Chain A
Amino acid sequence: MHKMITKIFWIVVALLLSSGSGLCTPYKIYIFMGETCPISRHYTLTLKELHAQYASEKLEFTGIFPNRLSTPATIAAFKEKYALPFTCIGDATHTWVNRLGATITPEVVVADTSHTAIYRGRIDNTFASLGKRRRVITEHDLADVLNALKNEKTPAFRQTRAIGCIITSGQKTKQE
């Protein structure tokens, strides 16, 4: 029942938003991150650079923190320590995780003006796998999407595999 209400809520939100003027609604860049996830920490530098280069009224960055231990205080501390220049919100109940289909931190979802995902996955190919940090980055996936959007082009939906910390889902109550 609760799930159904949540679903209806989001459908209503989506309808309300999409019924407004599409041109005024910015593209959203959602970045799922973990305060204690080392690859999330690693990407704070890249994200700051991408934000400086691409953020505008039409390209809006939001950090989402889905760890079940995330609190407004831990998120604020992370945002301050790594000087993140965009809004950061908590998602301990995984509303955003489920809505946008994120499974890893860090993982980005870029949504277009009708709130459909046009990109989901890694920021770039720095990590070939856990612990294997590429010395020469050869694929700049997120920058490519942002560059296309900046140039008024809408790329076709693409998905890549993000490398990082798996978002723990399906937790039960503490006492079994």
Chain B
Amino acid sequence: MRPISLSILAILLAVASPHAKPPTFSEHVSSIIYNNCTSCHRNGEIGPMPLTNYSEIAAYADMIKHVTETQYMPPWKPDYNYSQHIGARTLTKTEINTIANWVNAGFPQGDIALEASMPEFPTGSVLGTPDLVLTMAEPFTIRGDNEDQYQVFVIPTHLTEDREVEAVEFRPGNSRIVHHALIGADITGTARQRDLETPEYGYESFGAFGAPTAVVLPGYTPGAKPSIYPKGVGHILPKNSDLLIQVHYAPWPLAESDQSSINIFFKKEPIEREVGFISFAPLTTDGKTLSRIFRVLLGEERHGGTPVEKIRINDIFIIPKDRVKTFHTTLFINRDISLLSIYPHMHLLGKSWEIYATDPQGNRTNLIRIEDWDFNWQGNYTFTQYQKITAGSQIHAITTYDNTTNNPLNPNSPPRQSTWGEKTTDEMLLAVMEYIPYRPGDENIALTVGRGGEISIDFNGNGQKDFADFLLFVQNFGLTRSDASYQRHFDLNGDGHINFTDFIIFANQFSAG
């Protein structure tokens, strides 16, 4: 106990003392920037200004202070205090303050011997050798007119049998312009036909793939790591299917080109539970779905039918001009399921999301909240552990749209009424969730990033989960990636922060026997 009390005293003194030395780049700031910013902010990646050494970082010191204080960077849209998802790109209050104090002090460099080492950024696959690599048949050249471009590319898989998928890794060909990518598979030939009907490679589609998808695979956002499905769980990529990738190219003033590829890793062991989908969707009031896409998204074709008993929406999906409109959509779940991830999707009028589940006893589980929806930062958010939804639960989505002139992204000026559709001026209300049928013990399984394997809380390696491990965990509680004494194996969900979320995982693992 003694060293702990001494260190607390030292911290208190450091905080209280008006003569405390300002933070320096080498000792305090370099590890924050290198571990949270540099994976995107280096040459050839999407982050525009390289942040790879003192000079480059000092040159943007005031800007870095501003974007971290306003939490514009690192980009992470979900409310981190509402629910936890893996790979969260967030800084702690302490880290943000450290940067601010360093800039206010005139951003001193300090002793270069104390500078943090640069993490190793993989140049190839982060997962290993893929079983199948599918590459765009030819480079695609963007218009270079400062407008966003959303292009769907159709890549035949040539699979002669259904294959079970463990992980999908999108590899941008030109990281400067590829902003994000959605990945799916089509078995109807619709997308292939659409590609033939356009003169250019691929076809333009803003809202989604513009074709029915047999399966939707995890997509890509810059800075995110590909997720691996847990043991016995995965997707099935159908034989003869065409892989569809919808690539969002960021606004760019030059006509650059891109040729991206996708690494696919097949399961080493058989899938026991295939990943299915359920989704919010604004059904028409007579209860009919809007298109076949939803029948697939709603999971009718897996696990003997969808676990969604019915969907209810409080109003017809029309967003009148000059109005801020909120919809309340409810899914009624008829059996026990475990949720893996959630992918909210709306367009430019979209303003906010809140999604939570209530069980028959009235207990609430928060799933995701996004206060400041940004179409360009949409993504698939994997929960830090399976979210059990019991039979008889309801999942609620509260979605708000701003169709006034106060919304700078409003595609119409003056505003015009909007409803469901795939065009930029249309709207959507979709939150696709990956699920599997529930099995006892699911709630104790953490969903990790990367090829991490099973989580272990046997920190001292004595072969037992015991009180000594608990003490070790407590001693490391509160540390973040930028702390010198941070050790990855205490950060059970791998989000860079050893906090309450990890404690819940620890407690579950501990009580799991």
Q: Once the chains bind, are B253 and A42 in contact (CB under 8 Å)?
A: yes
Q: Once the chains bind, are A168 and B60 in contact (CB under 8 Å)?
A: yes
Which of B61-69, B127-135, B222-230, B266-274 lies at the binding interface? Answer: B61-69
Q: Once the chains bind, are B374 and A131 in contact (CB under 8 Å)?
A: yes
Cβ contact of B251, chosen from A42, A138, A169, cutoff 8 A: A42
Q: Once the chains bind, are B62 and A169 in contact (CB under 8 Å)?
A: yes
Q: Once the chains bind, are B253 and A82 in contact (CB under 8 Å)?
A: yes
* Central interface residue in A69, A131, A132, A135, by most chain B CB within 10 Å: A135
Shortest Cβ distance from A113 into chain B, in angstroms? Answer: 32
B329-353 CB contacts (< 8 Å) to partner A: 348
**Is the interface on chain B under 10, 10 to 19, 20 to 34, or 35 or more residues?**
35 or more
Given known A67-B59, A69-B59, contact A135–B348 (CB-CB < 8 A): yes
A155-170 CB contacts (< 8 Å) to partner B: 165-170
Kindly list chain B residues whose C-beta atoms are within 8 Å of the C-beta of A45: 145-146, 253
Q: Once the chains bind, are A172 and B253 in contact (CB under 8 Å)?
A: no
Kindly list chain A residues whose C-beta atoms are within 8 Å of the C-beta of B72: 130-131
Give the interface SS of chain B, mostly helix, strand, loop or mixed: loop
Given known A37-B49, A42-B253, A130-B72, contact A171–B61 (CB-CB < 8 A): yes
Q: Once the chains bind, are A138 and B413 in contact (CB under 8 Å)?
A: yes
A174 within 8 A of B: yes
B369-385 CB contacts (< 8 Å) to partner A: 374, 376
Q: Once the chains bind, are B54 and A174 in contact (CB under 8 Å)?
A: yes
With CB as the reference atom, state the residue of chain A lying closest to B51.
A36
Kindly list chain B residues whose C-beta atoms are within 8 Å of the C-beta of A136: 410-413
Kindly list chain A residues whose C-beta atoms are within 8 Å of the C-beta of B376: 131
Alpha-carbon gap, A172 to B408, bound state (A) = 38
A44 within 8 A of B: yes
Give the interface SS of chain A, mostly helix, strand, loop or mixed: loop
B173 within 8 A of A: no
Q: Once the chains bind, are B108 and A176 in contact (CB under 8 Å)?
A: yes
B109 within 8 A of A: yes
With CB as the reference atom, state the residue of chain B lying closest to A82.
B253
Alpha-carbon gap, A41 to B50, bound state (A) = 15
Given known A45-B145, A69-B56, A131-B72, contact A172–B106 (CB-CB < 8 A): yes
Q: Once the chains bind, are A167 and B56 in contact (CB under 8 Å)?
A: no
A81 within 8 A of B: yes
A175 within 8 A of B: yes
B136 within 8 A of A: no
Q: Once the chains bind, are A69 and B55 in contact (CB under 8 Å)?
A: yes
Alpha-carbon gap, A171 to B70, bound state (A) = 22
B interface footprint on A79-122 (CB within 8 Å = 1, 0 otherwise): 00110000000000000000000000000000000000000000
Q: Once the chains bind, are B108 and A41 in contact (CB under 8 Å)?
A: no
Q: Once the chains bind, are B411 and A135 in contact (CB under 8 Å)?
A: yes
Alpha-carbon gap, A166 to B76, bound state (A) = 22
With CB as the reference atom, state the residue of chain A lying closest to B109.
A174
Shortest Cβ distance from B351 into chain A, in angstroms? Answer: 12
A128 within 8 A of B: yes
With CB as the reference atom, state the residue of chain B lying closest to A130.
B72
Kindly list chain A residues whose C-beta atoms are within 8 Å of the C-beta of B56: 69
B232 within 8 A of A: no
Kindly list chain A residues whose C-beta atoms are within 8 Å of the C-beta of B61: 168, 171
Q: Once the chains bind, are A36 and B49 in contact (CB under 8 Å)?
A: yes
Q: Once the chains bind, are B409 and A132 in contact (CB under 8 Å)?
A: yes
Shortest Cβ distance from A167 into chain B, in angstroms? Answer: 7
With CB as the reference atom, state the residue of chain B lying closest to A172.
B106
B189 within 8 A of A: no
Q: Once the chains bind, are B107 and A172 in contact (CB under 8 Å)?
A: yes
With CB as the reference atom, state the residue of chain A lying closest to B408.
A128
Shortest Cβ distance from B66 into chain A, in angstroms? Answer: 6
B11 within 8 A of A: no
Shortest Cβ distance from B218 into chain A, in angstroms? Answer: 24
Q: Once the chains bind, are A168 and B145 in contact (CB under 8 Å)?
A: no
A68 within 8 A of B: yes
Cβ contact of B48, chosen from A37, A128, A138, A167, cutoff 8 A: A37
Alpha-carbon gap, A44 to B144, bound state (A) = 11
Alpha-carbon gap, A131 to B73, bound state (A) = 10
Interface set of B (CB-CB < 8 Å, partner A)? 22, 24, 48-50, 54-56, 58-63, 66-67, 70, 72, 106-110, 145-146, 251, 253-254, 348, 374, 376, 408-413, 424
Q: Please name 17 further chain A to chain B contacts, defined as beta carbons within 8 Å, in addition to the given A37-B49, A133-B409, A175-B108, sorted by A numbering.
A: A36-B50, A41-B253, A44-B253, A68-B58, A82-B253, A130-B67, A134-B409, A135-B409, A135-B424, A166-B63, A168-B59, A170-B106, A172-B106, A172-B108, A174-B109, A175-B109, A176-B22
Q: What are 22 of the A-B contact pairs (CB < 8 Å)?
A: A36-B48, A36-B50, A68-B58, A69-B59, A81-B254, A129-B408, A130-B72, A131-B374, A134-B408, A135-B348, A135-B408, A136-B411, A136-B412, A166-B62, A166-B63, A168-B59, A171-B58, A171-B61, A172-B108, A174-B109, A176-B22, A176-B106
In order of increasing CB-CB distance, the 9 nearest A-B pairs are A128-B408, A176-B108, A172-B106, A136-B413, A36-B49, A38-B48, A166-B62, A134-B408, A166-B63
